[in-house]
Structure 1
């Protein structure tokens, strides 16, 4: 690439940043013309191209690019030390190209209307509402644990393979789209990440590759949690960027599935968020509610805790801090805390549903 071309691309980076912020200041425009317009065609195309491949092409591409970058630095180290400003320009060129591709292919979804606008619900709730909802979630979780195991003391073990869980995730979305057509889509692309072990060390259950539109799941996650993780990542694939929103979508899709294992996974996941929230807001009632949870459910929580503790490392907080900054830069002011926003969404969605039933 000629230096003049590189200069133009490098100069385009700050212009792109300003342009994205300007367009992003109008969420309705992004919602109408990107998230429900251009993005639908881009994401469908990418899923057609990469979805049929049984392994993660995005992970392969990342690996290849990393190797090429290391090879370039190694082979050109003398020139880099002699002309560091030219190398710096090369870095800015790469950042400019990545920034453009990221926002074109997926990233503008960070600036769309929030899911509260989409579903007409609020996020605020009282402690009493949290207590009532947590009791409801405990009842549902206990019910499906008992239905699956036949007793109250055995943990749930999902008998499906990962590929079967992915197929059932697609079925769950097809079923959910009958009630909410906006959440239906074609050309599925849900896969286990090649880098599941590194993802675990970083503390992540999965991610969406914005350049290939592959929904990547941490394949070594305990199986009872995989249905909601899979449904969560497909939520990103549909163009929802906020982590609280995709946690909520994952809960709704899995809980309204026809499969008892998916329902259990959904309510168990929701229960974890509710209990964490309640512990900090009313420890006394938290303890009362914990005492009503089936031992089998608690065993699954212990399984999940042991899994994450096994991979604890000094670098995890750094990875989380970087991701927290990334989220804040991309229009998620709460950063990584946005994961917990699912509690308010679940509470207010249930209030909305109960209100609809009372008006019938």
Structure 2
């Protein structure tokens, strides 16, 4: 590549940023022409190409990228002192190419209209509405836990392998798509991450590779959350970039499933979000609600908490702060705190579709 072409590519990052910021101001345009236009074609092409491969191609690409980055700095550190512009130009060329590919292949979905607008539901709720919904969610979760275990004191243990869950998750989306065609999920491309141990130390349960459209699940531990996490990552694949919206769509897919373990996963996972929000607003009401939850469900929560506590490390807050900055840079103004938005979606959605 000529020096002139490298300079043009390096400087192209500036107009790219401007274009993305301008498109962010017209979310309906993004939804019509990108999220519901070219993106489904790109995503399906990626999944048809890579979905059949039993391991994560994206994980391997990330590992290779790490090696190349280290090699680049080792080989070019002298260039930084002698010709700094050429050193930084090489970096900007890569950044410009990744920035373009990221937004073309997935990232523009961050700028689509919020899902509560698309569904025509509210996005605010009172404490009374939250408590009322949480009580109903506790009843539904308790019922499923007792149905599965036959004893309200036993934690739910999944009888499936990871691959079973990946294959089964598709039917949840198939049932969901009968009422919401835009939530159709085909073809599947959901895999166990090759870097599950590093993901655990970073505090992540999974991720979507935006360059390959492969959904990776942290496979280090198989617990009650696994079906919901799988559906969450698949929600990213069909175009819901925001974490809160992927949580909500994943919940809808899991609870639409005909399998009780999937439904339990969805209800129990979201019950924790609701309980956390009640605790933040009214600690006395939280204590009353917690007392109504079956001991087996609390055991499920304790098992998960114990697992993650064993991998706590000084670097985890750094990774969380990095992800927080990433969310803010991609139209999630409140960063990680936007996860609580899923509670508003749950409360308002179930006003129209009671539990």
Category of TM-score, reference length = shorter chain: over 0.9
Determine the structure 2 residue equivalent to 1:34: 34
Offset of 1:72 from its aligned partner? 2.7
Partners in 2 of 1:270 and 1:299 — Cα distance?
16
Equivalence for 1:131: 131
Please name the residue that 1:245 is paired with. Answer: 245
The answer on whether the counterparts of 2:162 and 2:222 sit within 8 Å (CA) in structure 1 is: no
Query: Partner residue of 1:116?
Result: 116
Tell me by how many angstroms 1:256 deviates. Answer: 1.3
Q: What are the within-5 Å matches in structure 2 for residues 219-238 of structure 1?
A: 219-238=219-238
- 1:313 is aligned to 313
Q: 2: CA distance between counterparts of 1:97 and 1:235? A: 26
Deviation of 1:24 after TM superposition, in Å, equals: 1.7
**Secondary structure class of the residue paired with 1:239:** coil
TM-score (structure 1 length as normaliser): 0.96
Q: Deviations over 1:141-180 (max 9, x none)?
A: 1111111111011100001000000011111111211121
Q: Does 1:211 align with 2:187?
A: no
1:34-53 alignment runs, 5 A limit: 34-53=34-53
Looking at structure 2, the residues matched to 184 and 348 of structure 1 have their Cα atoms a distance apart, in angstroms, of 22
Q: Secondary structure at the match of 2:224?
A: helix
Within 2, Cα distance between the matches of 1:194 and 1:227? Answer: 19
Q: CA deviation at 1:21?
A: 0.8
Say if 2:177 and 2:183, in contact at 8 Å, map to a contact too.
yes
| Distance in 2, Cα, partners of 1:74 & 1:112 | 41
Alpha carbons 1:224, 1:265 under 8 Å: kept: yes
Q: Partner of 2:165 in structure 1?
A: 165
Partner of 2:185: 185
Looking at structure 1, the residues matched to 32 and 103 of structure 2 have their Cα atoms a distance apart, in angstroms, of 16
Residue 128 (structure 1) shift: 0.5
Tell me by how many angstroms 1:283 deviates.
0.7
**Counterpart-to-counterpart distance in 2, 1:97 and 1:275:** 43
Alignment deviations for residues 206-241 of structure 1 (CA, whole Å, 9 cap, x no partner) = 111000000111112442111000111111101011
User: Is the Cα contact below 8 Å between 2:216 and 2:233 reproduced in 1?
Assistant: yes
- 1:59 to partner: Cα distance: 0.5
1:333 matched to 2:338: no
SS state at 2:269 partner: helix
Q: CA deviation at 1:84?
A: 2.6
| Superposed displacement of residue 314, structure 1 | 1.0
Q: Offset at 1:86?
A: 1.1
Partner of 1:152: 152
SS in structure 1 of the partner of residue 208 of structure 2: strand
Deviations 1:22-48 (A, max 9, x none): 122100000000000010110010001
Once the two structures are superposed, residues 95-142 of structure 1 have per-residue CA deviations (whole angstroms, 9 ceiling, x without a partner) of 111000000111110111111111111110000111111111111111
Q: Distance in 2 between matches of 1:221 and 1:332?
A: 29
- Write the distance in 1 (CA, Å) between the matches of 2:36 and 2:322: 29
Deviations 1:230-289 (A, max 9, x none): 111111101011111111111111111100000111111011001110011111111011
Contact 2:79 2:86 in 1 (8 A): no
SS at match of 1:223: coil
Structure 1's unaligned 5+ residue stretches are: none
Is residue 208–residue 237 contact of structure 2 (8 Å, CA) maintained in 1?
Answer: yes
Establish whether residue 71 from structure 1 lines up as the match of residue 71 from structure 2.
yes
Which residue of structure 1 lines up, in the alignment, with residue 102 of structure 2? Answer: 102
Q: Is the 8 A contact 1:122 1:348 kept in 2?
A: yes
Q: Normalized against structure 2, the TM-score is what?
A: 0.98
Residue of structure 2 equivalent to 1:278: 278
Does the Cα contact within 8 Å between 1:248 and 1:346 map onto a contact in 2? yes
Q: Deviations over 1:293-351 (max 9, x none)?
A: 11100100000100110111111111111111111111111211111111110000000
**Cα shift at 1:70:** 1.7
Distance (Å, rounded) in 2 between the aligned partners of 1:50 and 1:169: 18
